[in-house]
Amino acid sequence: MAKEEEGALAKLMKFAKTKEFVIFKCVVTIVLSIVSIVLASEAFNALDAVVGDITGILDNWGTPPVTEFTLTNATACPSGWEQYPDVKWRGLEAGACACPSGATSGGQTWTSSYTSCNSNQTSAGCQQDPALSSINMKYWRNRLICLRRESEAAYNRDDDYIRPRVSEPDSCPSGYVFCGGPGTTYANGFAHCARTDLGCPLTSYDILKPSDAAYSGFPSNYGGFFDGYGSTDNSEYDMLGRVGTDSYVESSVTRFDEALPVVDVAIGFAPPCITGPNQENYDSATSWSSSNNDVTNDPPSSCNEADPRYVEIDSLSEAEFMREHFLRESACAGISANNWANYDVYSSAGSSFDCRSASLGGGCLVSLSSGRSCTSTDSICTTRVRQSRCGQYHHVYDSGTDASERLKLTYRRQLLWQDDCPSYRDVADKEEPLADLRDAQGALFTINTITNVIVFLAAFLVIYNQLHGDVPCVPYEGEKEKKFIEKAQERFVLVFKLIKFIPLIIAIVAVGKIADFFANKVKGCGDRYTQDAMDYLGRELPGIEQTNMAILAVDIVQLTLPFFLTIFKMLCGKKKKEGEGDEEKPAEAAPAAPAPTAPVLQPAAQAAAPAHFGPGNFGPSAKIAPASGPPAAAPPVAATAAPTQLAVVIPPGIQPGQAMTVAAPDGRMINVVVPPGSAPGGQIIVQVPPA
C-alpha cells in the first residue's frame, strides 16, 4: 500500500512539472491577482466615501447656524456677514483663426479656420479669436445674498463645547433661551437652547411670488430687509423684503414645529450630492465647435444621488443666471438686456454690427495689422474683426445655454441627532481612527496592487517561457530561466509583504477601536441619510476587521513557510543519512562496453556502459540548447557506467556543437559539447575525472 501511495505521489509530482500544469497554475495566479486588485479597490473606495460622509456630518454640527439673511445691491457683503456660495463659470476657450487676405508664410497661402491658429498662420498675420476669462457668479436676481452666523454650533470641536439641548420646555440653563416651534415634541432632538444675547437662529427662509399661496398672508408694510438690514425678532414672519417688482423674501425662526436651525447653504445646478461630485461649478470652459460658430457650455453632469435634505427656495434658468453676470462685466457697461443682442454679430439683431465704429461693447476682440483686411467671402474673418467683447458674452449666453438647465438656491438644516444617543463628541472621537483606517487601507491597496502586478508579470513571463523557451531580456533560458523568474518574484513579493505589515497593523488597531460603536451604539439616532452612513460603517467595519486579520494570517504563513520547509528538509535529510547503512545494496550489474559509433571525446581506456537520453531522463519540458559562447547546460542525464568512462547515446534533436549535461554515478554534473561528425542515436565516450 505504501508503495502504491509513493507511486501515486510520484505521478502527481511528475504531472506538476508538465508544461500544461505550469501554464494552468500561472493563469489561475493571474486571475486571482486581478480579482485581488479589484476587491481591494472597491473596499478602499467604499470606506473613503463613508469617511467623507462622517466628516460632512461633523462639519454640519460644527457650523454656527444662520441668524440673519439679507440681500444687498452692493458688490460685497457688509462686515461680519458671509456671502452665499458662488458658481464658477470657467470662461470661453480661444476660438477660430482669422486670416487677412493674402496671408502667406513659407511660400504658402494661409486661410481662416475654425480651429486655433498654428505657427504658420500666426507668421502669416492671422489673429486668434481670444478667450474670455472665468467669472465667479455670486449674484442672485441681481442682488448679493449675505448671511450672518451669530449663534453657537451644535458642537464646537475646537473648544470641545456642546450647545445645551432640551428634553422639555423651558429647561435651558441660565443665559440661554429655548428655541423650538409650538407643538414640538421636545425629546425628539429638534428643540435646542441658544444664548439669550444672540437669539434663536433661523429655521427657514424662502423666496415667494404672488402666485404662491403663502404670499397673500404677508403684510404690505414689511421692509427693511435689503442693504444690510436684518432682524432677530422671533415672530413668525420676522424678515421680509421685495425682490424686483413682484417677489418677496421671507424668513422665520418658528414657521415649522419640527425644524432645526439652517446651517448649510448652496447654489448649484442641483443640490449637493450625497455621492459623487457637487454641482455648483461648470466642469470646464465653454468650447467652440470645430466646424461652425456654435459654442457649448459644460455644466456639471447629473448627480449620482442628490442630498434631499437641501431645501430649494428659488431657481433660475442657466440663461437668466448668465445674463445677470455677463451684463455686470465692464465690457457691457451701458448696455441693457433689451439691446444686448445688437452688439453680437452672430445674432440676427447684430448681424451688421461693427465694433470698430461703435462706442459701446468693450472694444474689438480681433484686430488685424494696419492696412490688412478680410476677404469679403471669408465669414470667419469678417465676423471676428467686427465682434465686440460684450457681444462675445451675448453669444455664449445665446448659443451656449441649455433651456433645461436651472440653477437652484438651497439650504440644509442642522442634521438630526437624538438626545438619548451618544453625544456629538462621541461621534467626533471616531473621526481620527476612521481617517487612520482609511489611510491604512489606502496604503494596503497600493502595496497589494504593486505586489499583484509583480506576481501577474512573473506568471506571464513563466507562461512565455513554457511556450517559447526563452523570454527576451531575461537572463538564462529554459528551466534555469523559469527558476530565475520565480526566484526574483519571491524576493520582490517578500519585500512588499514586509512593508505591508505596517499599514495592516494600523488598520487592525484602528478598526478595533470603532467597529463596535457603529455596529451597536448609534442605531436609530439620525435622519435617514445620516443613519445610512452610520449603519454602513456598522455593517462593513467588522468585515474589514476579519479581512485584515485573514490577510495578516496568510502573510505570516507565507513569510514563515520557507523557514519551516528548510528545517523540515534538514531534519529529513539527517534522518535519511542516519539510516543509509541499514539498507540492502542491490547487486551491481556488470558494465557493458559497446563499441562507440561516433567520435569520442577521450580515448577509450576501458569499456563503458551507455548512458541513454530519452523521455525517462529528460521529462517532457527538457531542452538541449546549442552552444553559444560558453556552452549552455542541458538537463542532467542519468549515466549507468563505470567511474572512468561513460558511453552516452546522443538523443534525438541534438546536433554537433550543442551542449548537454551528463550525470555521473557519484552525482556530479559533467558538461559535454557534442563533437563534429556525431549524429543523434550515436554514442560518444565521456571521460569522468576523478572525484
Q: Mind spelling out the 3-state secondary structure of 469-493?
A: CCCCCCCCCHHHHHHHHHHHHHHHH
Domain boundaries, the chain: 14-59+423-567, 68-317+371-385+407-413, 610-687
Q: What is the pLDDT of residue 284?
A: 94
pLDDT at 658 over 50: yes
Render pLDDT for 303-318 as a digit per residue (tens, 0 to 9).
878 899 999 988 899 9
Q: What is the pLDDT of residue 276?
A: 66
Amino acid making up residue 306: A
**Which of 267-276, 411-420, 448-457, 649-658 bottoms out in mean pLDDT, i.e. has the lowest?**
448-457
Which is higher by pLDDT, 593 or 321? 321
Helices vs. strands in the chain: H and E counts, helices first: 11, 30
For the beta carbon of residue 676, count every other beta carbon within 10 angstroms: 9
Distance in angstroms (rounded) separating the CA atoms of residues 126 and 102: 10
Reported residue count of the chain is 691
Whether the Cβ atoms of residue 108 and residue 262 lie closer than 8 Å to each other: no
Distance in angstroms (rounded) separating the CA atoms of residues 261 and 42: 37
341: cell is: 443682442
Count CA atoms closer than 13 A to 609's CA, side-chain side: 14
Render pLDDT for 386-409 as a digit per residue (tens, 0 to 9).
999 999 999 999 999 998 899 999
Q: What is the pLDDT of residue 521?
A: 92
pLDDT at 223 over 80: no
Q: Residue with C-alpha cell 435634505?
A: 309
For the beta carbon of residue 25, count every other beta carbon within 10 angstroms: 14
Which residue in 194, 155, 202, 193 sits closest to 59, CA to CA?
155
Render pLDDT for 109-157 as a digit per residue (tens, 0 to 9).
999 999 999 999 999 999 999 999 999 999 988 888 888 898 899 999 8
**DSSP characters for 393-458?**
HHHHHHHH--TT-EEEEEEEEPPPB-TTS--HHHHHTTHHHHHHHHHHHHHHHHHHHHHHHHHHHH
Q: What is the pLDDT of residue 595?
A: 44
pLDDT at 530 over 50: yes
Which is higher by pLDDT, 165 or 629? 165
For the beta carbon of residue 634, count every other beta carbon within 10 angstroms: 23
Q: Where are the beta strands (DSSP E) in 530-682?
A: 610-611, 636-638, 645-649, 659-663, 669-673
Q: What is the pLDDT of residue 369?
A: 92
Whether the Cβ atoms of residue 599 and residue 650 lie closer than 8 Å to each other: no
Using pLDDT thresholds of 50, 70 and 90, give the confidence band for residue 489: low
Amino acid making up residue 354: D
pLDDT at 617 over 50: no
CA–CA–CA angle 265, 266, 268 (5° rounding): 165
CA–CA–CA angle 418, 423, 424 (5° rounding): 95
CA–CA–CA angle 449, 453, 456 (5° rounding): 135
Render pLDDT for 11-50 as a digit per residue (tens, 0 to 9).
655 665 677 776 777 777 677 667 767 766 776 776 777 7
Distance in angstroms (rounded) separating the CA atoms of residues 38 and 204: 45
Beta strands 143-148 and 247-252: pairing type?
unpaired
Distance in angstroms (rounded) separating the CA atoms of residues 180 and 256: 9
Count CA atoms closer than 13 A to 245's CA, side-chain side: 0
Q: What is the mean pLDDT of residues 84-96?
A: 95
Q: What is the mean pLDDT of residues 84-93?
A: 94
Q: Which helix (DSSP H) or strand (DSSP E) does residue 583 occupy?
A: none
**DSSP characters for 258-326?**
T-PPEEEEEEESSSPEEES--SSS-SS-BEE-SSSS-EE--PPPPPSEE-TTEEEEEEEEHHHHHHHHH
Whether the Cβ atoms of residue 607 and residue 593 lie closer than 8 Å to each other: yes
Distances (CA, A) of 487 to 472, 480, 490, 634: 17, 11, 5, 20
Render pLDDT for 436-445 as a digit per residue (tens, 0 to 9).
888 888 888 8
Average pLDDT, the chain: 77
Task: Give the single-character DSSP code of 502.
Answer: H
Q: What is the pLDDT of residue 38?
A: 74
For the beta carbon of residue 119, count every other beta carbon within 10 angstroms: 9
pTM of the full predicted structure?
0.67
Amino acid making up residue 471: V
Q: Where are the beta strands (DSSP E) in 65-153?
A: 68-72, 82-83, 87-89, 97-98, 104-105, 108-109, 127-128, 135-137, 139-140, 143-148
Q: What is the pLDDT of residue 622?
A: 35
| R_g over Cα of the chain | 42
pLDDT at 615 over 90: no
509: cell is: 488597531
Which residue in 640, 639, 649 sits closest to 679, CA to CA?
649
pLDDT at 80 over 60: yes
Amino acid making up residue 401: T
Q: What is the mean pLDDT of residues 281-292?
A: 94
Whether the Cβ atoms of residue 54 and residue 541 lie closer than 8 Å to each other: no
Distances (CA, A) of 104 to 122, 214, 563, 573: 10, 69, 78, 88
Q: Residue with C-alpha cell 451684463?
A: 327
Using pLDDT thresholds of 50, 70 and 90, give the confidence band for residue 569: low
7: cell is: 507511486
Whether the Cβ atoms of residue 311 and residue 411 lie closer than 8 Å to each other: yes
Whether the Cβ atoms of residue 364 and residue 388 lie closer than 8 Å to each other: yes
Which is higher by pLDDT, 593 or 288? 288
